Structure 1
Amino acid sequence: MDVHLRDLRALIAVAEEESITRAAERLFIAQPALSKQLRSLERQLGFPVLARHPRGVVLTAAGQTLVAGARDIVARWDEALADFRTAATTGRIVIGMQTAVGRGLQRSALARFRELSPGVIPTLRLVSWSDPSAGLDDGTSDVAFLWLPAPSDDLDVLPIVRERRCVALPADHPLARQERVAFADLLDEPIIALPPEAGALRDFWIAAPERNGRPAVIGATAETPDAVFEAVASGLGVVLLSEGNAHLYSRSEVSIRPVDGLPPAVLALAWRRADRRPLVAAFVRAVDEQLE
């Protein structure tokens, strides 16, 4: 049996909120994804931990025992991770990202960071979309380049760039003949979505708020940019992306057009609010200076 810290944190949140909906909002994931995660946890354990009723959920007797232990496990992990971070104030910084940053920013920021923190080795880490925190949640990244909305209110963010959204379509798609595409013309198109674990970020990139309750037609899900564009080139659907990434991921079999009727996307640098290490502050400063 392989129970993850993310499962324990989810169970704790549900126990404290006594509502899967409120717990999902607190964890910044979609309610169906959280329900699926909890059902999977119960299957792994072999016994129910939640009793569901019309007004919410309560812990079963077994669930109460498990939550008490889960709190201890999570607290011990957080303490151990904090001790590790304190010990690792020099030597290496891990920079999580889910797409190429580009935009002339990454190279200049890294050069400035090396000036501010000589001897610290930056490590670039590409993280699957299934972790919308790009490694910040489990401590495998120290800072991360993320698309907003941020997956947790425990993060601080520095907005970097605001860009309009575009749509990538197969090159032979009828809409590819237009110079611009209205979002209304995409409502019935199959769309390539991030995995359900991406939560609010998945909703943003399928433009769920702008659909006014009309469900998106999911043509496929993808966890990496390469998988996204392979799905588009294969005719499985279209995908929304930022204008800057349109230049980074150009492919001959895919056409990219600006979309009218959507708010822009915001790329940000994120880090854990409780992480006060000098090397994190130095990286934030290095990026911030490139924005001036």
Structure 2
Amino acid sequence: MTLRQLRYFAVLGQELNYRRAAEKLFITQPALSTAIKQLEHQFGVLLFRRNTREVALTDLGAAWLPQVQQAISGVDAVVDNLVMLSGTRRGVLRVGYLIGTGADLLFRLVRHFEAAYPDVTVEPIEFDFSDPTAGLADGTTEVAIIRPPVDLPEHRMLMLDSESWVACLPRDHRLAGREEVTIAELLDDPIVCAPLTAGMWRDYWLAMDARGNRPPTIAAVAATYEAETTAIARGLGISFTTSSVARFYDRPGIVYVPIADRPPSHTALAWHPANVTPQADALVRLVQDQWNSGDPE
């Protein structure tokens, strides 16, 4: 039996849902199912009852769950104590963030972290659209606030917030007076987009999934919201963005209109589990505790 199996059991025992538990553990549902079955097989016990509609703890599983939770808490406390005693949580933590992404989140996280770890100096580093990984891809930062999707297949992410899509339009645009629009109504408009180095993030904000075989007409390339909104105010094209950007980057000559039929855009805290520093690990744990307790403030 491994500590990983115990963590898997504890999370599934709390969620009683394989999808939600797998998302919390950053693994696939089949991997979680296999690990639980292996744990049961090792001891010849049944911890969960499963059918097509629900997952439930057996009497044995329900009795064992609080003991496992207590054991995991004890292990985490011992590890935290070792790290604190060794002084490895002193030093500098470089936190990247994508321009205009989670600005209010960033300052809340930094404030809480600095209160909990006053010996760590936090250095927030802003990145423009040319690097939507906010420094994680090349190791400039240890942890970052980003807006997926980005090309970081080995990184883990903790979803912090979600927002609706909005269209940024010139004030004289034919749809500028609408209360909301659909994505199909705007796909033929010239669009202001991120540089090619943004990769899949660029394609996401070009709404490539909705275009089929119709390539976008690129009106201009912009690496910042200032450049993007300036191009749109000049009437060069439109762009797709989020509701928070509409609050922070309202400018003369542009208007924001909600897009009714797009899935939400997410803001996430991201890090590489194999290369995480003690300082970054401390921040990740602090944020996980806040979000799991339902108190992100």
Which interval holds the TM-score relative to the shorter structure? 0.5 to 0.7
Q: Which amino acid aligns with 1:100?
A: G
1:183 and 1:261 in contact (8 A); partners too: yes
> Which segments of 5 or more consecutive residues in structure 1 lack a partner in the other structure?
1-86
C-alpha deviation, 1:238, in angstroms: 0.6
Secondary structure of 2:176's partner? helix
Q: Match of 2:148?
A: 148
Q: Which amino acid aligns with 1:258?
A: P
Q: Are 1:254 and 2:226 counterparts? A: no
Q: Which amino acid aligns with 2:98?
A: Q
Q: For residues 151 and 272 of structure 1, do their structure 2 counterparts lie closer, same or farther at Cα, with a shift above 3 Å needed? A: same
> Which segments of 5 or more consecutive residues in structure 2 lack a partner in the other structure?
1-86
Q: Which amino acid aligns with 1:190?
A: P
2:96 and 2:127 in contact (8 A); partners too: yes
1:210 and 1:262 in contact (8 A); partners too: no
Identity %: 35
Deviations 1:171-230 (A, max 9, x none): 121210111111111011011111111111011001000112211111111112221111
Q: CA RMSD in A?
A: 1.9
Q: Match of 2:18?
A: none
Aligned counterparts, 1:22-171, within 5 A: 90-102=90-102, 104-171=104-171
* Separation in structure 2 between the aligned mates of residue 283 and residue 100 of structure 1, nearest angstrom: 21
1:192 and 1:237 in contact (8 A); partners too: yes
Deviations 1:250-275 (A, max 9, x none): 11321001012222211111112212
Give the number of equivalent residue pairs: 206
Secondary structure of 1:176's partner? coil
C-alpha deviation, 1:290, in angstroms: 4.5
* Separation in structure 2 between the aligned mates of residue 252 and residue 287 of structure 1, nearest angstrom: 37
Query: Which has the higher relative contact order, 1 or 2, with Cα contacts under 8 A spaced 6 or more apart?
Result: 1
Q: Match of 2:245?
A: 245
Q: Match of 2:231?
A: 231
What is the TM-score with the length of structure 1 in the denominator?
0.66
* Separation in structure 2 between the aligned mates of residue 106 and residue 290 of structure 1, nearest angstrom: 14
Secondary structure of 2:275's partner? coil
Q: Match of 2:202?
A: 202
1:165 and 1:265 in contact (8 A); partners too: yes
Q: Which amino acid aligns with 1:242?
A: T
Larger radius of gyration: 2
C-alpha deviation, 1:155, in angstroms: 1.0
1:105 and 1:290 in contact (8 A); partners too: no
2:168 and 2:239 in contact (8 A); partners too: yes
Q: Which amino acid aligns with 1:286?
A: L
2:106 and 2:145 in contact (8 A); partners too: no
C-alpha deviation, 1:108, in angstroms: 2.1
Secondary structure of 2:259's partner? strand
Q: For residues 290 and 232 of structure 1, do their structure 2 counterparts lie closer, same or farther at Cα, with a shift above 3 Å needed? A: farther
Q: Which amino acid aligns with 2:279?
A: L
C-alpha deviation, 1:276, in angstroms: 3.3
Q: Match of 2:184?
A: 184
Q: Which amino acid aligns with 2:210?
A: E
Q: Are 1:270 and 2:255 counterparts? A: no
Q: Match of 1:212?
A: 212
Q: Match of 1:3?
A: none
C-alpha deviation, 1:102, in angstroms: 4.4
2:99 and 2:128 in contact (8 A); partners too: no
C-alpha deviation, 1:127, in angstroms: 1.1
* Separation in structure 1 between the aligned mates of residue 189 and residue 290 of structure 2, nearest angstrom: 38
Q: Which amino acid aligns with 1:245?
A: V
What is the TM-score with the length of structure 2 in the denominator?
0.65
* Separation in structure 2 between the aligned mates of residue 289 and residue 105 of structure 1, nearest angstrom: 15
C-alpha deviation, 1:103, in angstroms: 6.6
2:88 and 2:278 in contact (8 A); partners too: no
